[in-house]
Amino acid sequence: MKQFDYVRPATVAEAVAAAAQPGAVYLAAGTNLLDLMKGNISRPDLLVDVTHLDGLDGIERLADGSLRIGALVSNADLAHDAEFAKAYPAVAEALLSGASAQLRNAATVGGNLLQRTRCAYFYDTASRCNKREPGSGCDARDGENRTHAVLGWSESCIATHPSDFCVPLVALDAIVEIEGKNGRREIALDELHRLPGNTPERESALEPGDLIVAVRLPPAARGFAPHARYLKVRERTSYAFAIVSAAAALRVENGKIAEARLALGGVAAKPWRARAAEEVLSGSAPTADAFQEAASCALADAKPSGDNSYKIELARRIVVRALTLAAAGTPARIPALPASPFASTSGAMHA
């Protein structure tokens, strides 16, 4: 491996100062970064290990009803926090559908948000990739691309963002708290990840040195708890990224949908919030027709980027199913096979 420096800052301010240097990257659990380094995809000069920073591993309920999740909380600890799972069941289900138990024990909240795409051409350093090497071209565009993006892609890049966790978070209007060179700021999660356009190498709104310190769920996010699901179609039952996934959350009042939230995963370079589809559902009864219409609306702008037109139809069906499951009500316990179409299969053991 390339030799690199390693620092373990004592404070967030020290961390930000260290990571603002050229060639520096943050190291949290490293479940993605270390693979990238071993594969020579990332060649940082300096690792800024944030795992020993104080105060970033708490889950706290704020006075206004928000929930603040420290960036170093592990995916497993968050998903298994009973209060959290009760208030934000779709988020917990999404977390438990991701990766493997071992990875979830290590991976952090902040790291999950910033994980890189799983596009094989990004990982294969002999391939052209505009994200890895700006201006080199995109070998995925005419390559093996049946799992690539169908929304928001460009000729420069057809990669997807692989996170499960981000999908319900973006549906619930999560806010990202960032510490940077100029102090603390916050942005909507929906604005954190960027679509590729002509600059796929710029994946997020973060500036050099920016450190995600927390993710906040606003007070309204709790209101969806009785009707919130995450659904993920994948090619094996566990330890696989989504072909397509969806988070659906409804606020049902007097038999009508007062408010709907819908986001898709595995379809674009960012977790894809389907606002127009939400509008369609708002005020309507939770019927199959309404869900179909919402699904069509959510995928109205979709187009295949390669050998993947099936993903558009699959996404429509997943939207309908996720909405149907959400309307039926959040189950009392997270299923043994979280987010799986086989979630209800009896006798299944935890994935």
Work out whether 333 is an interface residue with other proteins (CB under 8 A): no
User: Residue 212: what are its φ and ψ, rounded to 5°?
Assistant: -70, 125
Instruction: Give residues 283-322 in contact with other proteins (rule: CB under 8 A).
Output: 310, 313-314, 317-318, 320-321
What angle in degrees, to the nearest 10, is found between the helix axes of 310-328 and 288-298? Answer: 140
Instruction: Give residues 125-184 in contact with other proteins (rule: CB under 8 A).
Output: 125-127, 139, 142-144, 146
Closest to other proteins by CB, 65 or 143:
143
Rounded Cα gap, residues 69 and 165, in angstroms: 13
Instruction: Give residues 49-108 in contact with other proteins (rule: CB under 8 A).
Output: 100
> Which is nearest to 312 in space by CA: 339, 272, 257, 259?
272
Work out whether 120 is an interface residue with other proteins (CB under 8 A): yes
Q: Are 5 and 45 in contact (CB under 8 A)?
A: yes
Work out whether 6 is an interface residue with other proteins (CB under 8 A): no
Work out whether 239 is an interface residue with other proteins (CB under 8 A): yes
Closest to other proteins by CB, 142 or 253:
142
- Which of 216, 234, 270, 273 is in the footprint of other proteins by CB under 8 A? 234
> Which is nearest to 338 in space by CA: 164, 208, 103, 81?
164
The number of angstroms, rounded, from the C-alpha of 295 to the middle of its chain's C-alpha atoms is: 20
Binding span for other proteins by CB under 8 A among 200-208, 238-246, 248-256, 289-297? 238-246
Closest to other proteins by CB, 4 or 173:
4
Closest to other proteins by CB, 49 or 313:
313
User: Residue 216: what are its φ and ψ, rounded to 5°?
Assistant: -120, 135
- Which of 136, 182, 287, 344 is in the footprint of other proteins by CB under 8 A? 344
CB proximity list for 54: less than 8 A, separation 6 or greater: none
User: Residue 190: what are its φ and ψ, rounded to 5°?
Assistant: -60, -20
For residue 34, the minimal CB distance to other proteins (Å) is 13
Torsion of CA 179, 182, 187, 189, to 10 degrees: -40
Tell me how many residues contact other proteins (CB under 8 A).
Answer: 44
For residue 225, the minimal CB distance to other proteins (Å) is 23
For residue 348, the minimal CB distance to other proteins (Å) is 8
Closest to other proteins by CB, 54 or 144:
144
Closest to other proteins by CB, 66 or 237:
237
- Which of 63, 82, 332, 349 is in the footprint of other proteins by CB under 8 A? 349
Closest to other proteins by CB, 20 or 336:
336
**Beta strand residue intervals within 235-284, DSSP E:** 244-253, 256-265, 272-273
Closest to other proteins by CB, 282 or 324:
324
CB proximity list for 239: less than 8 A, separation 6 or greater: 99, 100
Strand pairing of 256-265 and 244-253? antiparallel
Rounded Cα gap, residues 169 and 9, in angstroms: 29
Binding site for other proteins (CB under 8 A): 1-3, 40, 100, 118, 120-121, 124-127, 139, 142-144, 146, 233-240, 243, 310, 313-314, 317-318, 320-321, 337, 340-342, 344-345, 347-351
